[in-house]
Amino acid sequence: MAKAFYLTTTLPYVNADPHIGFALEIVQADILARYRALCGDEVFFNTGTDEHGVKIYRKAQEEGKDTQSYADEYAAKFQDLKQKLGLFEGLHFIRTTNPHHKAAAQEFWKRCAANGDIEKKLYRMKYCVGCELEKTDSELVDGKCPIHPNLEIETREEENYFFKFSNYQKPLLEMYAKNPEFVVPDFRFNEIKRFIEDGAEDFSISRLKEKMPWGVEVPGDSAHVMYVWFDALINYISTLGWPEKEVDFERFWGSKAAPNAVQMAGKDQIRQQAAMWQAMLISAGLPPTKQIVIHGFINVGGQKMSKSLGNVVNPMDIVDEYGADALRYYLARHIHPFEDSDFTMEKFKEAYNAGLANGLGNLVARVMQLASTNLAEPVKVEFTPYPQEFTNALDAYEMNKAVDYVWSRIHLLDQKINQTEPFKLVKTEPEKGKELIRELVRELAAIDLMLEPILPGTSGKIIEAIMANKKPENLFPRKE
């Protein structure tokens, strides 16, 4: 029986071109969405763009553009990733400037307010524009945000609306205790538990419209717009048609007794995803997230990616030269799913040649050359269930282990060809040699089935070659 499976990424902020860090998250999520669909589940896969906030407003002003037009321009670049990265056909794309989303955000606000969790007060704070978050002294290093050290910390004093996060320290800790796998990996879960144990302070959820006019208007107070995080987080449910489409919401997001949604996010998002958002859901009377998967950062040559260093990697440049599946392979196998990893083009090219050109591509050519030369008709293949080692890895969000397992099967099939020498056997014992070649094709088909969620474009070419009994064109030309 098919199960409903909901998976969402964080929404990238549309103040810059897509970089390889977002490509990592969307590819990881895409592999999971495809895998679950191939297992027979009904999948709702969501991503989109976060388009409100002071950074976008300021950038549009700097470039002399209308703010909405500026957001449209950058949102289109992220929408283009669907085709360029070979993403899941049913991927939903939500924009926080969408009228339905804005209405849903206002309804969510009303529900939290009705529960007594929103109040207006005057406050003074230290604020990182890069994070769109207020910062305590303990979170700063030499007065700087450790994530955005090149941006000045702003000191702000104004009247804002606050969410009473302090009401949710105990409920959150109780929820964490009941759900020991709520955050993956464990060390990130421990991080957020320590944060909440140290105290949950109320946080600002609005800005004065006269200072920051680009946002969703606060219900009943046109002088304020919603703080970007309060607005953006609600996309996870507005994309399901909440609050009108109750059936779709409950099927995919789940109920309080059986939450169903899985969120993927970077390590800089853990507070917003695993604490703030969960408290907001409780306040609005809605089910929590089922599970949150936190990945690390991609560094470049041992340094954090940044515009000032000029080391930001554009994934589209790699796709243009090597193809989408080459990038998907590298991100899935050579970038750790949970910890920080380093990227250089030298490492990428080495992995491409070893794993794809000399590995998978060479194997497919060998097997299908044998088949097309010696078999009169295509081999009939049966699609068996995924091996346990493969499913265990993907169920644990360990894409690298799943891909390693597939490549172990590629290596074994290569060894089998070397040891059995079917090209010789087919000459001395034709029938025995032909049956051996059929076995090789059937094993290639089993490998191809596992490749389908990881390298969908390549997988399609391999199965086409098997069905047509022909050697495909060079799948991965070697790069010097």
Q: What is the CATH number of the domain that holds 432?
A: 1.10.730.10
Structure tokens at 309: 């260093």
Question: What span, in angstroms and rounded, lies between the C-alpha atoms of 406 and 277?
Answer: 37
Query: Which of these, 107, 115, 80, lies nearest to 237 by C-alpha position?
Result: 107
Dihedral class, residue 144 (left if φ above 0, else alpha if ψ from -120 to 50, else beta): beta
Domain end, chosen from 231, 263, 295, is at: 295
Cβ-Cβ contacts under 8 Å for 361 (sequence gap 6 or more) = 474, 475, 476
What is the reported pLDDT for 307?
Answer: 75
Contact 419, 439 (CB under 8 A): no
Together in a domain, 97 and 245: yes
Domain end, chosen from 273, 295, 317, is at: 295
Question: What span, in angstroms and rounded, lies between the C-alpha atoms of 452 and 459?
Answer: 5
Single-letter residue type at 202: D
Together in a domain, 77 and 203: yes
Together in a domain, 162 and 98: yes
What is the reported pLDDT for 349?
Answer: 97
Single-letter residue type at 306: S
CA-to-CA separations, 28 to 47, 152, 271, 312, 352, in angstroms, rounded: 12, 33, 21, 20, 18
Q: What angle do CA 275, 141, 263 make, to 5 degrees?
A: 25
Give strand pairing partners of 155: 126
Structure tokens at 408: 């172990």
Together in a domain, 369 and 457: yes
**Total count of domains within the chain:** 2
What is the reported pLDDT for 311?
Answer: 84
Question: What span, in angstroms and rounded, lies between the C-alpha atoms of 152 and 122?
Answer: 22
CATH number of the domain encompassing residue 276? 3.40.50.620
The answer to whether position 327 is within a domain reads no
Together in a domain, 291 and 360: no
The answer to whether position 310 is within a domain reads no
Residues shown for the chain: 480
The answer to whether position 480 is within a domain reads no
Together in a domain, 183 and 258: yes
Encode the chain (480 residues) as per-residue pLDDT tens digits: 579 999 999 998 888 888 899 999 999 999 999 999 999 999 999 999 999 988 899 889 999 999 999 999 999 999 998 899 999 999 999 999 999 999 999 999 999 999 999 999 987 778 888 887 778 777 888 889 988 888 888 887 888 999 999 999 999 999 999 999 999 999 999 999 999 999 999 999 999 998 888 999 999 999 999 988 899 999 999 999 999 999 999 999 999 989 999 999 999 999 999 999 999 999 999 999 999 999 999 999 888 887 777 788 899 999 999 999 999 999 999 999 999 999 999 999 999 999 999 999 999 999 999 999 999 999 999 888 999 999 999 999 999 999 999 999 999 999 999 999 999 999 999 999 999 999 999 999 999 999 999 999 999 999 999 999 999 999 999 998
The answer to whether position 286 is within a domain reads yes
Together in a domain, 289 and 348: no
What is the reported pLDDT for 1?
Answer: 59
Edge-to-edge strand order for the sheet containing 4-9?
92-95, 42-49, 4-9, 261-266, 291-295, 183-184
Backbone angles phi, psi at 287, to 5 degrees: -65, 150
Together in a domain, 254 and 360: no
Together in a domain, 91 and 196: yes
The burial of 4, by beta-carbon neighbours within 10 Å (0-12 exposed, 13-18 middle, 19 or more buried), is given as middle
What is the reported pLDDT for 242?
Answer: 98
The answer to whether position 320 is within a domain reads no
Q: Which domain holds residue 204?
A: 4-295
Cβ-Cβ contacts under 8 Å for 443 (sequence gap 6 or more) = 409, 413, 416
Together in a domain, 284 and 410: no
Dihedral (Cα; 260, 261, 264, 265), 10-degree rounding: -120
CA-to-CA separations, 52 to 72, 235, 262, in angstroms, rounded: 12, 12, 24
Together in a domain, 249 and 361: no
What is the reported pLDDT for 103?
Answer: 98
CA-to-CA separations, 101 to 136, 225, 231, 317, in angstroms, rounded: 31, 14, 9, 32
Question: What span, in angstroms and rounded, lies between the C-alpha atoms of 251 and 42?
Answer: 10
What is the reported pLDDT for 475?
Answer: 96
The answer to whether position 51 is within a domain reads yes
What is the reported pLDDT for 122?
Answer: 85
Token pair 């990428």: residue: 348
What is the reported pLDDT for 150?
Answer: 84
Cβ-Cβ contacts under 8 Å for 324 (sequence gap 6 or more) = 84, 85, 86, 457
Together in a domain, 290 and 351: no
Cβ-Cβ contacts under 8 Å for 86 (sequence gap 6 or more) = 30, 324, 325, 328, 456, 457
The answer to whether position 133 is within a domain reads yes
What is the reported pLDDT for 155?
Answer: 82
The answer to whether position 369 is within a domain reads yes
